């Protein structure tokens, strides 16, 4: 009985073993079938080759997404990160600085565009200012001789006066002696009287008498000891320096009269708009004191002085004031009549991104592509901005959502983000230099491609990569195929620039090349371009 139980257990174990082995074998086969596509896909992506779906696209270059500015002509490991280089295909986002955004995403972002047009730009400037006297319309009345103020007809400053109105009456003792001498000579008889008479008349002139006063003495034959002073122009007495009973000396100022036929308005023009205001420009002025009245005039001068607090310039406006209603101190609003600039490129002002050092617009390229373009702007008014350089009529620019496009450009690694086409990237050394040896493979306008050996200071293996040309220019003896010794230094975005480069006549032997490749194989993160 015991032996039968043993045989039954052995049979069951054998059956279970055969069944388990069969299940194990079936599972292994299924695993192999499922693993094969993934393995090939992984192998293909590990070297950066185009996938089956990308076979129709051309690979432009390989790059590290974390350092998008550095390009490589072969797949492999990134020298910057422990990762494989990623291919960039023709037409992909980030190609030549373009940003590719799906139409649905554009709709979600609220992107609006406008066309670059040619038109006329009318610039209008409005400023405020205050009324002041016209300092070119001023008359100063002085005493011509020593005397006494007997009567004063104008007794207070700012009193209005008319041209020819009597201002004051002076008693002049010096005139009495000169006039009596003249009258005495006039009534004398005898030869040579004419000469004496001329001398007496000249003495009256010397004491300050005018020709009219001298003729009055001659016609009346009486002494005129008092002088009446008349207003030479109409206006207001801005300064009154005499009172009745005062003694005045010859040359002392007595009255200062400001005319009101024309007045000035000193308008404060913002410094940013000063280029739009020129002497001779027509203006219209309005003041709250005279509602509905418009005064017309012109810009007589732009004063060469900027207020350091308000950052404004003074524009001197000359206005006609025949009725005398405009008086100094009044507040006035000045409208500088617009001047039209014809046939210029215009874009909406909201399309221009001001970065502080340059102006950028996002231009649509069709098929959801956008590219940043640096432009030179001119005047701006009424929501329109003049474009002097960078765009052409008919192009379309983004007027809403351009900052979100800039963010998309940053996420996709667009290396020319916020730089116009052809604008050079800043090149400034940010670290030590590193020495290498290699062979020149290609020389472009801004880049030189070198296949070099290992660079130990950077832990690089042998590879072929491009470097930015030195700040000056390449030596004339550096051509494609030259063996060179060079030094590089890091610049912005992880790229490297040539510091110095000199040719060498030494050509690496096959053994040295093999040793260089062996050294490259020892590096844990194998760089792009290394031999397999």
Distance, CA of 27 to CA of 450 (rounded, Å): 51
Q: Positive or negative CA dihedral for 195, 200, 206, 210?
A: negative
Task: Match 């042998």 to its residue by tokens.
Answer: 462
CA distances for 10 relative to 15, 20, 119, angstroms? 9, 15, 101
Distance of CA 172 to the CA centre of its chain: 68
The CATH code of the domain at 125-134+260-341 is 2.40.30.170
Name which of 249, 168, 167 is nearest 208 in CA terms: 249
318 closest CA partner among 277, 263, 268, 274: 263
Q: What is the pTM of this model?
A: 0.47
Distances (CA, A) of 57 to 51, 72, 434: 10, 17, 36
State in words which class domain 138-258 has. Answer: mainly beta
Strands 359-366 and 369-381: antiparallel
- Label each residue of 468-510 as H, E or C: ECCCCCCCCCCCCCCEEEEEEEECHHHCEEEEEEEECCCCCCH
Coil, strand or helix at 80 = coil
The string of DSSP letters for 46-60 reads: HTT---GGGTTSPEE
Question: Is 375:411 a contact under the CB 8 Å cutoff?
Answer: no
Report how far residue 397's alpha carbon sits from residue 405's, in angstroms, rounded to the nearest whole number.
12
Rounded CA gap, 80 and 82, in Å?
Answer: 7
Nearest to 233 by CA among 134, 347, 140, 145: 140
State the Cα–Cα distance between residues 182 and 176, nearest whole angstrom.
10
Residue positions counted in the chain = 532
DSSP string, 264-319: EEEEEEEGGGGGG--TT-EEEEE-TTSTT--EEEEEEEEEEEE-TTT-EEEEEEEE
CA distance 492 to 419: 14
Alpha helices in 47-172 (DSSP H): 103-109
How far apart CA 227 and CA 230 sit, in angstroms, is: 10
Residue matched to tokens 């351009």: 402
Give the residue ranges of DSSP H helices in 76-207: 103-109, 173-186, 193-206
Give residue 192's pLDDT. Answer: 67
CA distance 146 to 172: 6
Cα–Cα distance for residue pair 216/149, rounded to 1 Å: 21
Q: Which CATH architecture has domain 427-532?
A: Beta Barrel (2.40)
- The candidate with the shortest Cα–Cα distance to 520, out of 79, 14, 66, is 79
Largest Cα–Cα separation, the chain: 196
Question: Residue 264: beta bridge partners?
Answer: 132, 318
Asked if 109 and 384 touch (Cβ cutoff 8 Å), the reply is no
- pLDDT by residue for the chain (532 residues), tens only, comes to 444 444 444 444 444 444 444 444 444 444 344 434 433 333 333 333 444 444 567 787 887 766 766 778 888 888 877 778 888 776 554 445 567 777 777 777 778 888 888 888 777 788 899 999 999 999 999 988 888 999 999 999 999 999 999 999 988 888 888 888 888 888 876 666 777 888 888 888 888 888 888 888 888 888 888 888 899 999 999 999 999 989 999 889 999 999 988 999 999 998 888 888 888 888 889 998 888 888 989 999 999 889 899 899 999 999 998 888 888 999 999 988 766 677 888 889 888 888 777 888 888 887 778 888 888 888 777 788 888 888 888 898 888 877 777 665 555 554 444 444 444 444 444 457 888 899 999 888 888 899 988 888 887 888 888 888 887 778 878 888 889 999 888 887 678 888 888 888 644 444 444 444 444 434 344 444 433 3
């Amino acid at each position: 009985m015991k032996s039968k139980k043993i045989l039954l257990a052995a049979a069951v174990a054998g059956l279970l073993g055969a069944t388990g082995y069969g299940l194990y074998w079936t599972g292994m086969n299924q695993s192999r079938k499922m693993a094969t596509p993934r393995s090939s896909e992984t192998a293909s992506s590990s070297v950066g080759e185009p996938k089956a779906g990308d076979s129709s696209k051309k690979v432009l270059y390989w790059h590290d997404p974390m350092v998008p500015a550095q390009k490589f002509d072969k797949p492999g490991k990134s020298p910057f990160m422990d990762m494989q280089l990623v291919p960039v295909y023709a037409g992909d986002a980030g190609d030549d600085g373009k940003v590719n955004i799906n139409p649905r995403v554009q709709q979600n972002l609220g992107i609006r565009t406008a066309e670059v047009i040619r038109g006329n730009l009318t610039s209008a400037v409005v400023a405020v200012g205050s009324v002041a006297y016209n300092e070119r319309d001023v008359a100063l009345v002085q005493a011509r001789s020593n005397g006494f103020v007997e009567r004063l007809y104008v007794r207070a400053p700012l009193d209005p006066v008319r041209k020819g109105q009597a201002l004051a009456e002076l008693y002049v003792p010096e005139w009495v002696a000169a006039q009596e001498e003249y009258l005495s000579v006039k009534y004398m008889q005898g030869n040579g009287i004419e000469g004496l008479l001329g001398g007496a008349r000249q003495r009256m002139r010397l004491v300050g008498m005018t020709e009219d006063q001298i003729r009055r003495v001659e016609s009346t034959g009486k002494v005129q000891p008092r002088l009446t002073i008349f207003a030479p122009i109409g206006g207001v007495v801005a300064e009154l320096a005499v009172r009745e009973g005062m003694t005045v000396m010859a040359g002392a100022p007595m009255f200062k009269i400001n005319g009101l036929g024309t007045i000035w308005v000193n308008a404060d023009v913002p410094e940013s708009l000063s280029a739009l205001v020129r002497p001779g420009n027509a203006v219209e002025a309005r003041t709250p004191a005279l509602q509905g009245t418009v005064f017309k005039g012109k810009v007589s001068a732009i004063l060469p002085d900027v207020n350091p607090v308000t950052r404004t310039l003074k524009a001197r406006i000359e206005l006609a004031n025949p009725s005398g209603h405009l008086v100094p101190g009044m507040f006035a609003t000045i409208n500088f009549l617009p001047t039209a600039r014809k046939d210029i490129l215009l874009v909406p002002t909201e399309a221009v991104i001001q970065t502080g050092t340059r102006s950028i617009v996002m231009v649509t390229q069709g098929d959801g592509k956008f590219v940043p373009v640096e432009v030179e702007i001119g005047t701006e008014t009424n929501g329109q901005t003049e474009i002097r350089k960078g765009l052409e009529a008919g192009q379309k620019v983004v007027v809403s959502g351009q900052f979100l496009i800039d963010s998309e450009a940053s996420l996709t690694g667009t290396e020319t983000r916020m730089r116009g086409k052809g604008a050079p990237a800043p090149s400034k050394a940010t670290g030590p230099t590193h020495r290498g040896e290699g062979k020149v493979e290609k020389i472009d306008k801004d880049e030189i491609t070198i296949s070099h050996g290992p660079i130990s200071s950077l832990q690089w293996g042998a590879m072929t990569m491009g470097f930015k040309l030195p700040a000056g220019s390449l030596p004339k003896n550096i051509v494609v195929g030259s063996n060179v010794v060079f030094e590089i230094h890091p610049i912005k975005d992880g790229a490297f620039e040539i510091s110095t480069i000199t040719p060498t006549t030494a050509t690496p032997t096959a053994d040295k090349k093999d040793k260089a490749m062996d050294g490259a194989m020892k590096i844990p993160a194998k760089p792009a371009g290394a031999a397999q």
